[in-house]
A and B are shown apart, each in its own frame.
Chain A
């Protein structure tokens, strides 16, 4: 009996569908979510101190003319420990660094600073992650490069690597 070609249509549609699947599996999607705030001023916030002896952080602190880093971290975050030496190196290179501690407790933050050093000028405590969410930050650690006017210029997701330290210093120099 003659084969009717229309009966192959479902097979053809399926083949197309699978083509799309294969494409997607072989080229995994961009998983990093970039903040919508790049080239915009910091959202307004005013965070209480995260631990005794270190000032809290408010958005107006960030527009004092000096380009700086804002590091989003937490004491419960293991990669943040791995990042600590790079922050120390940046601090040593004269970069001002402020911190936002996410869902943290004062004692834990103090403990974290004792163990890993304290490169921060100020640390705000973001207990509800509300500032983190407002910043469009999707995890810890995450670092924002802020120019002297308090405008976010770049977002680094994940741990700052050793080789990135000189690049960051250079970028902040250029913003001056």
Chain B
């Protein structure tokens, strides 16, 4: 009965989305208030019912109900519980339902908490959100019903792609989805504001927490995804510029640009049309990304459900949403005066440059991702690889970081160039120290990594500048947030540059008892032993790594074999072993056995990397997310009240 109940809940939720859309549109036409009163409760109920349907799906996976096609195809009764639950969204139908659940819950949150907007703008926003949901409901109910029963239940299910059987990856898609779908609220706000022509600071302040919130999740999702690819795929890299990675990066870039421009609109009532435009673009890019991954339009090293039929359905949906929003934008944006004027050398000016750089990087990454499609339309087969992206995005990102140095130190509206220089000596000193240190002692370092580390030094010091001479207890949370996030950028940049400049690699075929050196480590290959996991078998290698100071650490990389699905070939995965040291990470992968001349497999391929500062990349990502979270906390009204209360108390105490 659970499956039938889930389907019924979905239909009810879809009907409520329809009601919100119709009542909202009629109200916006006629201005009759009693219709508007329907929209809020309908939005809340829709969100709750969709979430309940999703809970039903999880229940089916937890119970391993193999009479449901989706469960039979994507789960197995022997799987660990975590992966049973994750199986609910580790597939096409389930992830679309998760998408709809987050879409519905965000609509419900807007309906409950949003107090800053005019009634008609709020209704228009909720109606836009309902329209978005309705399309995806149609998609789910007509073309990919997750609750479909099988005529005959199989004895057991097929399992889940072994590569995806990792705790990190179980939570990776939901995290990214919260980010993507959070941007849908910004999109709906933009559409709502365009319909009622209310674009100004109130609209920007209402939108800002949603942008911040979804950007936090996108940052966490991308950081975690990068770390997952790093330790699970066993190739030792942390970013591959794979289409699937790019389509998560593109909305993140749009979100970063939007985050900064919405601040300008909220504080200075400027850049209004641009903010609206970015809000439309950010969510559009989330949809395009999901579409590209789901439709099989681009092939990728990551395997996902691929189905061109569904691709057509999604494409039609997106054409309506994105095309509709952009048409509305083209017709209405010119009636939005651009707002207050400012000089180029000002906080606003630096944010405009930041936005231009971010959107240029976005366009170049999008171009690289889609170019193979366009080239193939012209009869050429081309794949665009890391060299292109590193060449085009690297230098722009460094310039962006330098803008980031200056921006927070500039005053709003108009500033003086000489005054800016006077605020920078410490940062320039730090940068020069790094640069000269590397030239003198760094050995042969490429130009881009060298510049990267120098800029990281400058940004690290300059990002702290907004705190100088301030009473730290009274510094507002959003300022703390900005400082920490910008410092995080410096940390991540330093990690990326140091890793690419100083990485050491050894690939050897070693027999048990042999010793290999990589950088300062002596690594002894003790031997291998077979082990059995819950649903795989593995060969586990034992390595003892010794530092020059004599400390020893044991590393246990594994080569796992998962039994084939439905009689198919077994799948092998590599679990890298990582030794984290203050200066970086030692990364060990156990490869294939090597057959000697006598036909005996007595040696194993070992791949060892010393990756200096590599973990700074993810530390930086985490700091960026923490900074954004502090800004969000500071922007939430309740906390702002609490903070000012505390600040007043503190003032009373020390004054």
Contact = CB atoms under 8 A, between A and B. Distances in A.
Determine if chain A interacts with chain B.
Answer: yes
Contacts of A117: none
Contacts, number: 76
Contact of A7 (B295, B299, B334, B568): B334
B195 interface: no
Given A3-B331, A7-B334, A10-B277, A23 B377 contact: yes
Interface in B568-588: 568-570
Interface string B260-304: 000000000000010001001100100010010001110100000
A63 to B, nearest CB: 23
Contacts of A3: 330-331, 334
Given A10-B277, A10-B281, A25 B315 contact: yes
Interface in A21-41: 21-25, 28-29
B592 interface: yes
Q: Which of A1, A11, A21 has the most CB of B within 10 A?
A: A21
Given A25-B295, A25-B308, A20 B370 contact: yes
B376 interface: yes
A17 B322 CA distance: 12
26 contacts: A1-B334, A3-B334, A7-B329, A7-B330, A7-B331, A7-B333, A10-B280, A11-B323, A11-B326, A11-B327, A14-B323, A18-B318, A20-B374, A21-B291, A22-B315, A24-B297, A25-B297, A25-B308, A25-B315, A28-B296, A48-B599, A76-B564, A76-B569, A102-B569, A103-B569, A128-B592
Interface residues of B, number: 39
A1 B376 contact: no
A14 B374 CA distance: 14
A107 B569 CA distance: 16
A33 to B, nearest CB: 10
B330 A11 contact: yes
B319 A18 contact: yes
The 7 lowest CB-CB distance pairs between A and B, nearest first, are: A11-B326, A7-B330, A8-B330, A4-B334, A1-B335, A7-B333, A24-B373
B476 interface: no
A28 B326 contact: no
Nearest to A4: B334
Interface residues of A, number: 30
A4 B277 CA distance: 15
Contacts of B322: 14
A24 B331 contact: no
Contacts of A8: 330
A28 B306 CA distance: 12
A25 B308 CA distance: 6
A78 interface: yes
A42 to B, nearest CB: 19
Interface in A47-92: 48, 74, 76-78
A67 to B, nearest CB: 30
B458 to A, nearest CB: 35
A114 interface: no
Nearest to B277: A10
B265 to A, nearest CB: 17
Interface string A95-129: 00000001100000000000000000000000010
B168 interface: no
